Structure 1
Amino acid sequence: MTPQDLRHLAPPEPMEIILDAAEQMRPGDSLAWVLPHHPTPLLPMLEKAGLLYRFELSGDGGVVLILSRL
């Protein structure tokens, strides 16, 4: 899975993109995005939607958000 780089977008566009994609996810799906920092305001929304998330370092200063629906 190649993460989509959202670092070039102004807020709140990255959060809107992630939430829109999350709504379309089916059980077993995983998606990933590169962000400039941890998306703290987004995390409660993902939890409320029943999604699992984890983070990895991108290697070039960003954070990779990996989202999964069980």
Structure 2
Amino acid sequence: MSAPEILLELCGMVPPEPMERVLEALDLLQPDQHIRMVIDREPVPLYRILEKNGYRYRTTMRDDYIYEILISQND
């Protein structure tokens, strides 16, 4: 059985590495899992890719200006 969450700590990485990491994780994502992406800037270009490929996401900016994005497959 797979873990319910794939955690990606991407703060401090230089583009395009954060995008590459999340795209790799999407290939591994199972229907019962989600990705928790933690990053120090809002990954706006990623949103279009997620929408185009049938993923849903929820973005939250924490008090420390770090973004947490939860990504899962559409049901």
Question: Normalising by the residue count of structure 2, what TM-score does the alignment of the two structures yield?
Answer: 0.79
Structure-to-structure mapping, 1:42-61, within 5 angstroms: 42-61=46-65
Consecutive unaligned residues in structure 2, runs of 5 or more: none
Identity percentage of aligned residues? 31
Match of residue 11 from structure 1? 15
Runs of 4+ aligned structure 1 residues displaced above 6 Å come to none
CA deviation digits over 1:13-70, x for unaligned, max 9? Answer: 0011001101211212111011112211111111121111011123322100110113
Aligned residues: 70
Question: Is 1:30 the equivalent of 2:6?
Answer: no
Consecutive unaligned residues in structure 1, runs of 5 or more: none
Question: Normalising by the residue count of structure 1, what TM-score does the alignment of the two structures yield?
Answer: 0.84
